[in-house]
Amino acid sequence: MTEADRRREILVLAHTGRHDAVDAAATVAERLHQAGLTPVMLARDIESLAQVVGDRLRDVPLAVAGKEVPLSRCEVGMVLGGDGSILRAAELVRGAELPLMGVNLGHVGFLAESERTELDSSVEWVVDQDYTVERRMAIDVQVWHAGEHVGSTWALNEASVEKHSRERMVDLVVEVDGRPISAFGCDGVVMATPTGSTAYAFSAGGPVVWPEVEALVMVPISAHALFARPLVVAPDSVLAVEVLQREDEQGVLWCDGRRSTELPAGSRVEVTRSDEPVLLARVHQTPFSERLVDKFNLPTSGWRGPVDASNTVTTDERPAAHPMGSEMTAGTPGDTQGDAP
C-alpha cells in the first residue's frame, strides 16, 4: 500500500474506567470512520470498549496500536479524559513525535484543548488538520546511589523527591548548578517544568510560570526551615536533591505521579531539561492568563482593562507651561495656592 492509498490514522486514547470516556471514545471512532479516517486504539481499550458499547462499533474497523499501526505513523492522538489521561498518553507516545489533543472529561484540565461539549468540533479539527503543534518542555531525571547510576526517567509536569514514611520527615539537601543551596527536613521537594507549575508545584506554594517561559522550578514541600523559598532557575540549569545519610533515611522519587523509584539514604536525583519536548495539538489561541482565570475560577470583577491608546493625551494637547513654573501650571483657575500672602 502506498502513502496515497493509506487512510489517515488517528490514535484514540480514553480512560476506559469511566463511562463518559468510553461513550466519548465510541463517538470519536464513529465520526473518524465516517470522515474516512482510521481510528487506532490500544488492544485493551478496544476490548473494554466492546464490553461496554456492545455492537455499536460493529461496522467501524478499529486498528490496534503497536500491532497493526505503529504509533509513529499516527497523525495525532486524541485523548479523552483529564490531565491524568494526558500524562498517561504522553508516556505512551514518548519517542513517537506524536502531538496530543486533549478533550477534558475531568476537573481542571489544564492540558486539554477542548471540553466534552466540543467533542464533535474536536473531531472536525482533526479531520481538517485545523490545529497547530505546541512544544512543551519536559525534564530528564537521573538517579544515583553510592556513586553508581541506578536509573533514568523523564517527566512532563514534575519530578518530586518525597519522604517514604508518613510519620516522619526526610532530610534533604538541594543543589543548583553544582552548588548546595540549603539542607532541611521536609515532606519533599518538587522540581517542575512551566507546564507542571500549575500542578503539584502549585499546591506546594510554587509560582505559576507561563508555558512559553523557559525555566525550571524547585519548590520545597512543608520544609522545617527558615529559608525554604521556591526557586526559579534557567532552563539549562541542573537541579539536584540528595537524601542525607541520617538515621537510615529513605525517600521515594515520583515522576508525574506515575513512575516511582525507591531512594535509599545517600541517593541523588538530578533533573535537567530534556531534548525531547511533549507535543500538544492546539486550536484555541487563548492567552494563558485567560486559561488560568477560567480553570481556577479566579475573581476578576472590577477589572476595567487597558486604556485605549486613542484616549491618551498627546504632547500637543497638553496645557502650555506657565512662565512662573510647573507649580502654576498644575493649578486650576481660581486656585490661589501659589499666590504670595
Evaluate if residue 125 carries a pLDDT over 90.
yes
202 assigned to a ligand binding site: yes
Residue-wise pLDDT tens digits, 139-192: 999 999 999 999 999 999 999 999 998 888 999 999 999 999 999 999 999 999
Q: Decide if 153 contacts 147 (C-beta within 8 A).
A: no
Evaluate if residue 5 carries a pLDDT over 70.
no
157 assigned to a ligand binding site: yes
- Percent of the chain at pLDDT > 90 equals 72
Residue 98: phi and psi, rounded to 5, are -110, 115
158 assigned to a ligand binding site: yes
In the chain, list all ranges with CATH 2.60.200.30: 139-273
Annotation marks residue 83 as catalytic: yes
Q: Which of 23, 45, 59, 83 is catalytic?
A: 83
Q: What is the mean pLDDT of residues 330-339?
A: 49
Strand 239-243's sheet: what is its strand order?
A: 148-155, 139-145, 267-273, 239-243, 170-176, 179-186
Residue-wise pLDDT tens digits, 251-280: 999 999 999 999 999 999 999 999 999 999
In the chain, list all ranges with CATH 3.40.50.10330: 9-136
Residue-wise pLDDT tens digits, 309-321: 777 766 666 666 6
Q: What is the pTM of this model?
A: 0.86
84 assigned to a ligand binding site: yes
Specify the CATH number for 139-273; select among 3.30.310.10, 1.20.1280.50, 2.60.200.30, 3.40.50.300.
2.60.200.30
Among the ranges given (91-100, 290-299, 302-311), the one the predictor scored with the smallest mean pLDDT: 302-311
CATH 3.30.1490.20, domain 9-136, yes or no:
no
